[in-house]
């Protein structure tokens, strides 16, 4: 149910607040964003120029169609036909040969079908196809015109020939006649290649910069998340599982990266291509562009339906995937229990059901895209067919050039490809919204232990360096600190009090032991003294100063606990002893010698440079405990707390530790929490807790003579050991 609730809460179509917050991380990289947008604009414009250049190449060089007009006066023409005739005759690009005017077909020669038919009926427009050209006296083309004067019409520095006669000439002469077109084709192809190269370069720049921005933003978000987690209270970490936080730092941050690299830029590119393609269509031919526009409403409707279906399919897939992952994690962790209780068949059946749900959810998601893409491709093909049907008639009527028709076919495909791409990027957008909501939810959580280092509440000014100077990381023999608990009340959950008016004092240099049954509040004392948790009421003082008024860093530098469960990081033995302090190798070795850890470290293959595996599984539990002691000694705090610190150590190792600790803790304040009463017999004072209250206090002999709870515990443990 928890997985289901979480998935349901975070899966959204689009959230402008999340998008705005993601985009806010771009501020430090404004220059890169500008470079990305410029590269995107150049590459998009280059792609849109390609069909336009193809149109010019087709109309002006490859086809080179001419409208042939007889300039002789014609009577009986309608006003529209006469105006069209005057317009054509006034064009500057016309070529006069014989008694005819040859005008290259282009955007300025477009006319309606009725006007064309009227001009042809009046013999103003010639029915036959001609090719006109210019030449210079004495060149090869002039020689061909002179040689075959019977099939050429001649003018001043120009000529014309029917297409039917032109292609009866030898190929070599055809090449000479159309030399200008051939050179134009070569120049245009070179221009096209340069344009495509520019598109490639700027697309590469845009892609590289986009990925760079995404990686930098991921770095910033991960760092912010990690720093936020480090500063949160233990209460926050107790109800946020480690696996969930790791998922936020890795998987959810990765979805935000996909938002930049695969969603945001793709949307910008696709939208600009679609708008640019539409504008280009209307510039080339408004009439034919309307044909394309009429096919769009069904596509937009199908896209909207597909978006809704994709959202539902995505939600089901996330829910099913979460259930499978949860089941696998739980049952693989407890696989020995499954085997011991012969529950393999039950587990098989349950996993088969969840696996089938995931299969159906994945197939449902694939069905949406498998249906949507073919439908959009069908509409794309239908639009191309409509463009060809309408455009070919316009070409025959001289109201459209063949190059424009070819450009339209390319632009239609260019328009529909982004439609399919945007729909398929919708799932990534949903993932980004989900990941963004989870990440920002964690970033917005404010459950940190407050700092009162400037005396906010009491007005006391406590400088960071006083009265607790930084210890140099080596044993100096300075006096310990006084610890005082004054009527302390504390509860992890409201209404379930753990410490109930606890009061005691540990004097400087004194070793105090705390004993009691499980749940008496022994470990809680560590948590509240180091301010991993804040108390509900009362006061805790270090040398007379409330711990709430001390900087957290200073407090935790002065009070260091050795916890029951030793945690060592992956890395060298020396690094685990230093733990961030700038200690020399000699100082590290001195700390290890103090607790008799040097002997086993020296026996390791690489000594202090030995790499510890995850969880330090390549050394024994006792050796891990010795390293934790060496780490405390290296940091040289004013107060040391031992929480069941020798519970996992064999007798010989414990003896070595006791010798080291007797030397190191001399003159320092220490609190020892232990169930093995034999380890605390020599403590200066023993505090006996029960139900969160202090019920007995004194040294070992005094408490035995009182014959109270401590004496009972001691006798019981002595008998068990015997």
Range with the largest mean pLDDT of 196-210, 344-358, 408-422, 677-691: 196-210
Stretch 170-193: mean pLDDT, rounded? 92
DSSP designation for 685: E
pLDDT in tens, 284-307: 888 888 988 888 888 888 877 877
Segment 396-400 mean pLDDT: 76
Beta-strand relationship, 537-542 and 571-572: unpaired
Tell the CATH superfamily of the 483-721 domain: P-loop containing nucleotide triphosphate hydrolases (3.40.50.300)
* Comparison of pLDDT for 14 and 223, the residue scoring more: 223
The 511-516 sheet, strands edge to edge: 559-562, 639-643, 669-673, 511-516, 685-690, 693-698
Q: What are phi and psi of 611, to 5 degrees?
A: -85, 125
- pLDDT at position 556 is 79
Q: Is 588:578 a contact under the CB 8 Å cutoff?
A: yes
Question: For residue 448, what are the β-bridge partners?
Answer: 232
Task: Give all strands (DSSP E) within 163-306, no chain letters.
Answer: none
The tokens describing 640, both together, are 């040391």
Mean pLDDT of 663-692: 78
Query: Which pairs with CB-CB distance under 8 Å and at least 24 residues apart come from 80-83?
Result: 80/112, 80/114, 80/115, 81/115, 81/118, 81/119, 81/122, 81/124
412's CB contacts (< 8 A; 6+ apart) are: 277, 292, 380, 383, 384, 387
Number of Cα atoms under 13 Å in the Cβ half of residue 485: 26
C-alpha distances in Å from residue 664, one per residue of 323, 492, 579: 52, 34, 19
- Would you list the domain boundaries of the chain? 17-55+185-444, 65-177, 483-721
Task: Using DSSP bridges, classify how beta strands 685-690 and 639-643 pair: parallel, antiparallel or unpaired.
Answer: unpaired
Distance (Å) of CA 331 to CA 292, 492, 533: 57, 30, 34
Mean pLDDT, the chain, rounded, equals 81
The predicted model gives 406-435 an average pLDDT of 80
% of the chain exceeding 90 in pLDDT? 13
Q: How far is CA 563 from the centre of its chain?
A: 37
pLDDT band at 29 (very low <50, low <70, confident <90, very high): very high
Q: Which residues, other chains included, contact 165 with Cβ-Cβ below 8 Å and sequence gap of 6+?
A: 151
Q: What is the pLDDT of residue 646?
A: 54
What DSSP string runs through 50-88? HHHHHHHHIIIIII--EEEE--S---S--HHHHHHHHHH
Pick from 150-164, 204-218, 462-476, 677-691: least confident: 462-476
Report pLDDT digits (tens) over 512-540: 889 888 878 888 888 888 888 888 899 99
Q: What's the rounded mean pLDDT across residues 226-246?
A: 71
**Residue with tokens 């990381």, as numbered in its chain:** 473
Question: Can you give 632-675 as a three-state secondary structure string?
Answer: HHHHCCCEEEEECCCCCCCHHHHHHHHHHHHHHCCCCEEEEECC
Q: CA-CA-CA-CA torsion for 180, 182, 186, 187, nearest 10 degrees?
A: 20
Residue 280 above 50 pLDDT? yes
- Give the chain's count of helices (H) and strands (E): 28, 18
Can you tell me the distance from the alpha carbon of 541 to that of 555, in angstroms, rounded to the nearest whole number?
A: 11
* For residue 467, cis peptide bond before it (omega within 30 degrees of 0): yes
Report the CATH fold assignment for 17-55+185-444.
ABC transporter transmembrane region fold (1.20.1560)
Q: Where are the beta strands (DSSP E) in 477-579?
A: 483-493, 496-506, 511-516, 537-542, 545-546, 559-562, 571-572
**Computed from CA positions of residues 278, 281, 287, 293, in that sequence, does the dihedral angle turn out positive or negative?**
negative
Cα torsion 203, 205, 207, 209 to 10°: value is: -150
pLDDT tens for residues 42-55? 998 998 898 889 88
Question: Going by DSSP bridges, is the β-strand pair 152-155/130-134 parallel, antiparallel, or unpaired?
Answer: unpaired
pTM, two decimal places = 0.70
pLDDT of residue 175: 93
Res. 9 pLDDT band, cuts 50 70 90? very low
Residue of 425, 500, 460, 473 lying closest to 634 (CA atoms)? 473
Conformational region of residue 481, where left means phi above 0, alpha means psi within -120 to 50, and beta covers everything else = beta
Both tokens of 37, joined, read 């947008």
Weakest-pLDDT range from 269-283, 473-487, 495-509, 513-527: 473-487
Cα distances (angstroms) measured from residue 241 to each of 245, 254, 301, 393: 7, 20, 43, 69
Predicted confidence band at 662 (pLDDT cuts at 50, 70, 90)?
A: low
């Amino acid at each position: 149910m928890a997985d289901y609730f979480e998935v349901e809460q975070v899966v959204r179509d689009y959230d402008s607040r999340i998008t705005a917050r993601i985009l806010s991380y771009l501020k430090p990289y404004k220059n890169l964003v500008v470079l990305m947008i410029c590269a995107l604009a150049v590459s998009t414009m280059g792609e849109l120029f390609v069909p336009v250049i193809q149109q010019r190449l087709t109309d002006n060089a490859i086809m080179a169609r001419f409208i042939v007009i007889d300039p002789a006066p014609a009577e009986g023409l309608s006003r529209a036909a006469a105006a069209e005739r005057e317009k054509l005759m006034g064009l500057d690009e016309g070529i006069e040969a014989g008694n005819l005017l040859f005008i290259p077909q282009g955007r300025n020669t477009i006319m309606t079908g009725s006007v064309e038919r009227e001009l042809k009926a009046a013999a103003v427009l010639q029915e036959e196809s001609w090719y006109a050209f210019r030449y210079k006296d004495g060149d090869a083309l002039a020689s061909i015109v002179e040689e075959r004067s019977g099939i050429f019409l001649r003018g001043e520095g120009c000529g014309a020939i029917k297409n039917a006669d032109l292609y009866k000439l030898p190929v070599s002469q055809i090449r000479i006649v159309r030399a200008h077109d051939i050179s134009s084709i070569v120049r245009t192809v070179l221009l096209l290649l340069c344009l495509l190269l520019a598109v490639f370069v700027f697309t590469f720049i845009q892609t590289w910069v986009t990925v760079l921005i995404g990686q930098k933003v991921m770095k910033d978000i991960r760092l912010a998340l990690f720093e936020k987690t480090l500063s949160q209270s233990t209460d926050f970490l107790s109800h946020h599982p480690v696996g969930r936080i790791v998922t936020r730092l890795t998987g959810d941050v990765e979805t935000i990266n996909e938002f930049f690299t695969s969603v945001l830029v793709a949307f910008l590119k696709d939208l600009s291509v679609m708008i640019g393609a539409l504008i280009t269509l209307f510039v080339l031919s408004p009439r034919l562009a309307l044909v394309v526009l009429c096919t769009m409403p069904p596509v937009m409707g199908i896209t909207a339906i597909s978006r809704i279906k994709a959202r539902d399919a995505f939600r089901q897939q996330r829910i099913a995937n979460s259930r499978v992952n949860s089941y696998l994690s739980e049952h693989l962790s407890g696989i020995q229990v499954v085997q011991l209780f012969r529950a393999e068949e039950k587990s098989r059946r349950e996993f088969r059901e969840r696996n089938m749900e995931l299969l159906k959810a994945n197939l449902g998601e694939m069905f949406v895209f498998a249906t949507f893409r073919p439908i959009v491709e069908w509409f794309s093909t239908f639009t191309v067919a409509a463009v060809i049907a309408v455009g070919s008639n316009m070409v025959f009527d001289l109201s459209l050039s063949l190059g424009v028709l070819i450009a339209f076919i390319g632009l239609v495909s260019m328009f529909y490809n982004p439609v399919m791409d945007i729909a398929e990027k919708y799932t990534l957008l949903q993932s980004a919204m989900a990941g963004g909501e989870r990440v920002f939810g964690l970033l917005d959580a404010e459950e940190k232990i407050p700092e009162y280092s400037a005396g906010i509440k009491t007005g006391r000014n406590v400088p960071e360096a006083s009265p607790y100077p930084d210890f140099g990381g080596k044993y100096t023999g300075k006096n310990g600190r006084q610890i005082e608990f004054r009527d302390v009340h504390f509860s992890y959950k409201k209404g379930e009090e753990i410490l109930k008016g606890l009061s005691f004092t540990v004097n400087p240099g004194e070793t105090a032991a705390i004993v009691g049954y499980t749940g008496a509040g022994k470990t809680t004392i560590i948590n509240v003294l180091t301010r991993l948790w804040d108390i509900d009421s009362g006061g805790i003082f270090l040398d007379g100063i409330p711990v709430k008024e001390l900087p957290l860093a200073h407090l935790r530098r002065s009070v260091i606990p050795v916890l029951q469960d030793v945690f060592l990081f992956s890395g060298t033995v020396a690094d685990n002893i230093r733990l961030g302090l700038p200690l020399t190798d000699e100082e590290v070795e001195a700390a290890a010698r103090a607790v008799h850890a040097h002997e086993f470290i020296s026996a390791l293959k690489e000594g202090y440079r030995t790499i510890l595996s995850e969880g330090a599984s390549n050394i024994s539990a006792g050796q891990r405990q010795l390293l934790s002691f060496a780490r405390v000694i290296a940091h040289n705090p004013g107060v040391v707390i031992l929480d069941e610190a020798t519970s996992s150590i064999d007798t010989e190792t414990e003896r070595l530790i006791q010798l080291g600790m007797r030397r190191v803790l001399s003159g320092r304040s220490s609190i020892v929490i232990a169930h093995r009463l034999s380890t605390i017999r020599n403590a200066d004072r023993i505090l006996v807790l029960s139900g969160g209250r202090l019920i007995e206090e004194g040294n070992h002999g005094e408490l035995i003579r009182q014959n109270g709870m401590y004496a009972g515990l001691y006798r019981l443990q002595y008998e068990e050991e015997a």
